Amino acid sequence: MPTPLATSRSPRPLTGRMVLFYLLAFFSVVFAVNIVMARIAVSSFSGVETESAYKAGLTFKNDVAAAHAQDARHWAVEATLQRGGAATRIVIGARDAESRAIAGLVPEIRLAHPTDRRRDVMLEAVEVAPGQFECETPLHQGQWDLVISLKRAEDTVFRSKSRIAL
C-alpha cells in the first residue's frame, strides 16, 4: 500500500511562460494601484495656498509693512461665537488704543477650512453699532480658521486669522 507521500504529484516546472505571467500580473497590480492612488490624490487636492509664489514674494515687503502698521495702531478686535440651534452667530468688536469703538470699517469675514479651500465660506456681516459687526452661519462642525479683514476705503487696516472649533 503506497503512502500518501509516494502518491504526491511532482511540482510543476517553472517555465518561461509562467514567469512571464507572474511578471505581467505583478506589474498590472502595481500599475492599477498607482492609477487609483493618483486619482485619489488629484481629486482631493484643493490647490496651493498662493496662485503664484513669485507674485506673493514680490508683495512680501508690503505685507510686512502692513503688519507693522497694524501693530502700531494697538487696536483690540475680538470675536465671540454664540451657538444656537442650527446656526452660529459671530460677533466682532473693534476698539482703538483708547478703547473707543472704531466706525467706518467694512468687514470681510471668512470661515476658511484648514485643509480644503473649496469648503471656505464667506460671511455677510452687518454693522449693528459703530465698531460692532454680527453675522450668522449655518453650523459647520469641525475646526476652521476665522479670517477677519477690516477695510477702510480700499485699504485693509486690520487682518487676523484664528483657529476656532464649531
- For residues 142-158, average pLDDT: 91
| Overall fold of domain 75-165 | Immunoglobulin-like (2.60.40)
| Digit-coded pLDDT (tens) for 86-136 | 888 999 999 999 999 998 899 999 999 888 888 888 999 999 999 999 999
Cα–Cα distance list, 30 to 33, 35, 40 (Å): 5, 9, 15
- Residue pair 94/102 in contact (Cβ under 8 Å)? The answer is yes
Say how many C-beta atoms besides its own lie within 10 A of residue 90's C-beta. Answer: 20
Question: Closest Cα partner for 130 from 157, 160, 105?
Answer: 105
Measured between alpha carbons, how far is 124 from 137 in angstroms, rounded to an integer? 9
Query: What pLDDT, on a 0 to 100 scale, did the predictor assign at position 1?
Result: 52
| Digit-coded pLDDT (tens) for 39-61 | 998 887 766 667 778 888 888 99
Query: What proportion of the chain, given as a percentage, has pLDDT over 70?
Result: 92
Measured between alpha carbons, how far is 102 from 129 in angstroms, rounded to an integer? 10
| Model pTM score | 0.67
Query: What pLDDT, on a 0 to 100 scale, did the predictor assign at position 48?
Result: 61
Q: What is the dihedral of CA 55, 67, 158, 88, to 10 degrees?
A: 80
Sequence-distant (≥ 6) Cβ neighbours of residue 74 within 8 angstroms: 96, 97
Query: What pLDDT, on a 0 to 100 scale, did the predictor assign at position 55?
Result: 86
The residue extents of the domains of the chain are: 75-165
Query: What pLDDT, on a 0 to 100 scale, did the predictor assign at position 46?
Result: 63
| Digit-coded pLDDT (tens) for 74-90 | 999 999 988 887 888 99
Strand 143-152 to 121-123 pairing: unpaired
Query: What pLDDT, on a 0 to 100 scale, did the predictor assign at position 137?
Result: 86
Cα–Cα distance list, 39 to 2, 36, 46, 119 (Å): 58, 5, 13, 20
Cα–Cα distance list, 28 to 24, 25, 140, 156 (Å): 6, 5, 42, 55
